[in-house]
Structure 1
């Protein structure tokens, strides 16, 4: 089990980071690999626990899947319809593997998907859309899900009542090899949706309109494999931008177009940061005081990403003025508020909104990551605090960040992992003063 992170704040960040491929793109791409008759090679993929769980799902249905350096290679015809329950139960993205198995084998058995407890995350939109494409839900034990496509998948005209990213991805995967045309209205517009469509087209699919609210898919009998570089991770870029805003300093984020996380960068500028933009890079710096952000809210793309909400909230703790941040997607996005309070912040949560009042200098505290992005937010806040903090629950953070502690240490942060040793002792994992993360992203 991973040990706690020890973070001593007050050190500005300096350096350059190559932003890796996006977790939120890699996971649906791994599901899409089930549709392909040839090998799929995904480049520059970070080694995350969610990625490893996806590999377990692929191997569990009979595919070969593994690492070749920083690339992932998947090959093989799925032969089994049961998704590995432990891996499926740990992450939300496991639901994405259902449509490809229905397309290839006509049936899938799984447990209901897991993931962070940030609010209601129903799969009703997934199931409603699949039902229109000929999928039936069979009786199953509590917590189990069995889907069956007795006549195969067929195209349909589907209207989503909410632009759900997951439902849009599920229906794209179902439509790619379905019989006939599928038209999806009210689709999500996130960059990861466009990335999935680009992958399917590179494999021989026919997807038009991804990135708009209407997507048209002409089903193909089969898809080939391809080599593909997923889009850069705008949430990792957002995390590092917020870390600089909270701790001070200047960091260049390379390989990730600033337009992918423009709302966050604009808010940081309003709070007193300087942002230098290029086509595929941005440099964020903060050397003076931060102003309050006023009233901010998340929204589906191109609005402020819900995943960025806790990260931005951590910056608000360091401002001299008032801020409020409402998450309009998930009702329990701010479970990190207790950790903020432990650091000395003046915060309160009412329904979906976090309110922040100026509270002076933050101080070190004992913290526990409540979820993936909440854990990253506590790291950011600890970087700005006076004294040392101990963060437990880092396994949540590792679901979406590969060696975040080492990355931050390479930028000048004082952060190290305490690994439990035998006889109740603890061992410090040393960090080099200069550590360069060089896992590429799509250019």
Structure 2
């Protein structure tokens, strides 16, 4: 992993952050370009490690994809069905590239995807849905091979859990399948609606995205388009929690507060001032923080699982107790060990993190265990007295572009120290 963050805590944050395009929208959009017969341009895509991995997947399968300034341009869809094993293993979202390859070429080959170690993330919902659409699936060693000998055909599918990834996979498969598909029990996250909006811009027929029932009329071909992905509500949540923890006043622009409203509501209950407009949120914290008892994550529109560690970091110095239960991933709070190193009074019990009041946090050397847990440790370091070091920052690069520089522009004392060979 590349470099460490060196952070001297105790400085309040002040300034404005424009929120970039959402990683969790851009990755399925890049997978969707495989369905398109013409060029696709995605606007203002941040330089994230996961985006680079997605571009490697497209190029490795014969596609033509590159960055042009702040945009990503996909000029040609892949021509081969095999995804690069090394790139696919690095990222959970690589599974999303299988359905469009299957739809376009009749076959897709990959390895089981990797990503952050936050718990079981099975692909069985993806595969069972694809089977309902006519796919055949088999494993050969570590490889997963999908075929559709007679093409994909519409079906009536009910998901037993509203998985975001499975919903995206089945939208991508159904968009050009023969006939009609009804997907019940679908995820309702705004990134689902963003993917559907892109596909419809390219000529797909999709109704109900953003609700639990989505109906798709398959189209033989899709065109290309220029598209601006939605803003990243988890990045916005990160800077909101950083301001709550460190104190000060931060304005977040370009991201609808409605997409991360549960987190803002909890910050307000903790003692922050939160002012919202259609595309702007202003978070201020100049007094003490208070605990809020027990909160839960859940499927949208509940508190996002990705926001749980970030919120926990803001709760570390609150004057009363809080706890967060994550109902999605069993190892969401791998960052708890790092919190304890800073002096946080935390305890994990199953999927729940309990946080007791800590008078102060002290500098420590910690390791980012995963993407959001790593960002949460950076937030804790912003509060800790003294100079801290956060290692394994490559995890953080998967979801945050120029994280140190942007925090520095808000007044944080943070630098990145690159190790030899990074």
Where on the TM-score scale, by shorter chain, does this alignment land: which range?
over 0.9
* Paired position in structure 2 for 1:324: 323
CA distance in 2, matches of 1:45, 1:303: 26
Q: Offset at 1:421?
A: 4.9
Pairs within 5 Å for 1:146-161? 146-161=145-160
Unaligned runs of 5+ in 2: none
Q: Is 1:2 the counterpart of 2:2 in the alignment?
A: yes
Q: 1 CA distance for matches of 2:282 and 2:81?
A: 47
Query: What is the 5 A alignment of 1:14-163?
Result: 14-141=14-141, 143-163=142-162
Question: 1:12-411 alignment to 2 at 5 Å?
Answer: 12-141=12-141, 143-411=142-410
Q: SS in structure 1 opposite 2:140?
A: coil
Does the Cα contact within 8 Å between 1:78 and 1:104 map onto a contact in 2? Answer: no
Give the SS at the match of 1:158: strand
Distance 1:185 1:195 in 2: 18
Q: CA offsets per residue over residues 41-78 of structure 1, 9 Å max, x none? A: 00000000100000000001111000110000002142
After superposition, the Cα gap between the structure-2 partners of 1:393 and 1:226, relative to the gap in structure 1 and judged at 3 Å, is same
Segments of 4+ moved more than 4 angstroms? none
The 8 Å contact of residues 257 and 281 in structure 1, kept in 2 or not, is answered as yes
Q: Secondary structure at the match of 1:340?
A: helix
Task: Check conservation: 2:58, 2:77, Cα contact below 8 A.
Answer: no
Change in Cα spacing, 1:312 to 1:105, as seen in structure 2 (3 Å) is same
1:367-414 per-position Cα deviation (integer Å, ceiling 9, x unaligned) = 100000000000001101111100000000000000101110010000
CA–CA separation in structure 2 for the residues paired with 1:36 and 1:404:
33
Counterparts of 1:162 and 1:20 in 2: how far apart (Å)?
A: 29
Q: For the residues of structure 2 that align with 1:69 and 1:135, how far apart are their CA atoms? A: 38
Q: Distance in 2 between matches of 1:334 and 1:74?
A: 37
Shift of residue 419, structure 1, vs aligned partner: 2.0
Instruction: State how far apart, in whole Å, the 1-side matches of 2:110 and 2:309 are.
Output: 31
* SS of alignment partner, residue 244 of structure 1: helix
Partner of 1:441: none
| Cα distance between partner residues in 1 of 2:282 and 2:332 | 28
CA RMSD of aligned residues (A): 1.0
Match of 1:413 in 2: 412
Measure, in 2, the Cα distance between the counterparts of 1:294 and 1:115.
31
User: Contact conserved, 1:194 with 1:210, CA < 8 A, in 2?
Assistant: yes
* Whole-angstrom CA distance in 2 between matches of 1:231 and 1:393: 28
Asked if the contact 1:340–1:381 (Cα under 8 Å) also holds between the matched residues in 2, the reply is: yes
Structure 1 stretch 29-38 or stretch 73-82: which is displaced more? 73-82
Counterpart CA distance in 2 for 1:420 and 1:237 is: 29
In the TM superposition, what whole-angstrom CA distance separates every residue of 1:265-314 from its partner, at most 9, and x where no partner exists?
00000000000111111000100000002100100000000000000000
Please list the CA deviations of residues 2-48 of structure 1 after superposition, one character each: whole Å capped at 9, or x if unmatched: 22110011000000011000000000000000000000000000000
1:162-188 C-alpha deviation (Å, 9 max, x unpaired): 000000000000000000000000000
Distance between the aligned counterparts of 2:253 and 2:182, measured in 1?
36
| Alpha-carbon offset, residue 138 of structure 1 | 2.7
- The separation in 2 between residues aligned to 1:77 and 1:390, in whole angstroms, is 42
Work out whether residues 6 and 415 of structure 1, in 8 Å CA contact, stay in contact via their aligned partners in 2: yes
Say which SS state the counterpart of residue 418 (structure 2) adopts: strand
Question: Counterpart of 1:430?
Answer: none
Separation of aligned partners in 1, 2:295 and 2:398:
27
2:312, 2:324 within 8 Å by CA — same for their partners in 1?
A: yes
Number of aligned positions between the proteins: 422
Q: 3-state DSSP class of the match of 1:130?
A: helix
Cα separation, 1, equivalents of 2:20 and 2:348: 33
Alignment partners' CA distance in 2, 1:45 and 1:157: 34
Contact 2:136 2:146 (8 Å CA) reproduced: yes
- Give the secondary-structure state (helix, strand or coil) at the position aligned to 1:420: coil
Cα distance in 2 for residues equivalent to 1:88 and 1:285: 41
Measured in 2, the distance between the counterparts of 1:324 and 1:222 equals 49
Tell me, yes or no, if the aligned pair for 1:363 and 1:385 is still in contact at 8 Å.
yes
Query: What is the DSSP-based 3-state SS (H/G/I as helix, E as strand, rest coil) of the residue aligned with 1:56?
Result: helix
Q: Distance in 1 between matches of 2:30 and 2:292?
A: 38
Q: Secondary structure at the match of 2:7?
A: strand
Deviation of the 1:420 alpha carbon: 2.7
* C-alpha separation in 1, matches of 2:308 and 2:240: 13
**Structure 1, unpaired ranges of 5+:** 427-443
* TM-score calculated relative to the size of structure 2: 0.99
